[in-house]
Amino acid sequence: MSLIILDRDGVINHDSDDFIKSPAEWEPIDGSLEAIARLNYAGYRVVVITNQSGIARGLFDVDTLTKIHSKMRRMLAQVGGKIEAVLYCPHGPDDECSCRKPQDGAYLELSSRLRIDLKDVPAVGDSLRDLQAAQSVGAKAILVKTGKGLNTLEGGIPEGVAVYDDLAAAVNSLLEATD
C-alpha cells in the first residue's frame, strides 16, 4: 500500500485568511474529495498534516477542530473516501515548535508512527512551508494552485517541485504514472 500526505486548507478545502473556525466554514474544493476516494481505491493511505494556529490564537478550540475534521471525514465517506489520520500543529508561528511546518516534526512523527521512510512519498501542499517540510524529510513535494498556491508559485518554489491546478489534477497525474 502506498502513502500520500496532504495539507488541509487550500488543498482539500477552501482556505480563508480569517481561518476555518467552524464546521460550517469548512467547504471542500470541487473534486478534492473524489480525488481522495480515487487515491483510496488505488490503494493509497491518505494522511493530512496541517498547521492549525487558530487554536493558539484563541479563534477555535480542539473540540471545534475535531468537529471540523468529523465533517471532512463524513463528506469523504459519502464519496467513498477516507483519511487515515490527521496530524495537526496547534501552535502559533512564534511558538518555535518542531511540529509547525516548515519544520518537519509532524512528518517525523508520521514516519515513526508508521515505521516507514518518507523518501519519495508524495506530499501535496499550497504553501512554501508545505513544500519545505516535505522536502526536509525527502518526500516528493507537490504544489497545487488552489488556496495560497498561486501566490506561492509567484514567490518562487524549490527546484523539482511539480505544480498542478488542484488536488484532482495532481492525483490524476500520480495515478497515471503508476498505471
**Cβ neighbours of residue 104 under 8 Å, at least 6 residues apart?**
98, 133, 136, 137
- Among 7, 104, 126, 130, which one carries the catalytic annotation? 7
User: Active site includes 30?
Assistant: no
Phi-psi region of 21 (alpha: psi -120 to 50; beta: other; left: phi over 0): alpha
**Cβ neighbours of residue 150 under 8 Å, at least 6 residues apart?**
none
Which one-letter DSSP state was computed for residue 13?
A: B
Q: What is the DSSP secondary-structure string of 88-136?
A: EE---TTS--SSSTTS-HHHHHHHHHHT---TT-EEEESSHHHHHHHHH
User: Active site includes 18?
Assistant: no
- Among 9, 15, 130, 166, which one carries the catalytic annotation? 9
Q: Which three cell numbers stand for residue 101?
A: 511546518
Q: Are 20 and 68 in contact (CB under 8 A)?
A: yes
- The residues annotated with a catalytic role in the active site are 7, 9
